Amino acid sequence: MRTFDLSPLYRNTVGFDRLFSLLDSVGGVDAAPAYPPYNIERTGENAYRITVAVAGFTEAELGIEVKENTLTLKGEKKAVETSEAGQMLYRGIAARAFERRFQLADHVEVKGAVLENGLLHVDLVRTIPEAKKPRIIPIAAGAGAEAPKSIEGAVGPAQAA
């Protein structure tokens, strides 16, 4: 049986929880970590948080941009001058530039970002417009009843003639 790697979809989208839980129940695909490591968590019914490990980066070296439902996180480390007193023997701390993109669902907005203890927290909220929210439509009783006046654009018996 052929399997499909859907991990790029899981890692780079926010707000598609129902779709991904359905895909998880069918396939059970695990996402592979990449540089820099990050977490996506749901903090409320319509609230999310992306946490990216950016140890060693300062606020000036990080950039966040949202354009057309794409959240882009960039990090560019400034060149480190070697001191004359010491010589680097081993460099194990990654100081490379990165660019991480996340596809946002419709109506997902970035509310803010905080850098603390080497972690960049980006808070997101899905705000559903009033026009997209479910509405309750009242039902008129019988043929002789008037159409409810609370429905905009409704055609009542007097208007239909």
Band of residue 152 on the pLDDT scale cut at 50, 70, 90: low
Distance CA 52, CA 73 (A): 9
Residue type at position 17:
D
What is the layout of strands, in order, in the sheet containing 108-116?
A: 38-42, 47-53, 119-126, 108-116
In the structure, what pLDDT confidence band is assigned to residue 89 with cuts at 50, 70 and 90? confident
Residue 32: pLDDT band (50, 70, 90) is very low
DSSP code of 61? G
Rg (CA), the chain: 25
Model-level pTM greater than 0.75? no
Q: Of the candidates 48, 57, 38, 39, which has an alpha carbon nearest to the alpha carbon of residue 17? A: 48
Q: How confident is the model at residue 19 (pLDDT cuts 50, 70, 90)?
A: low
pLDDT on residue 22:
58
Percentage of the residues of the chain whose pLDDT score is greater than 90: 30
- Pairing relationship of beta strands 62-67 and 47-53 according to DSSP bridges: unpaired
30 conformational bin, left if phi > 0, alpha if psi -120 to 50, beta if neither: beta
Query: Which of 18, 13, 15 lies closest to 107 in space, CA to CA?
Result: 15
Q: How far apart are the first and last CA of the chain?
A: 64
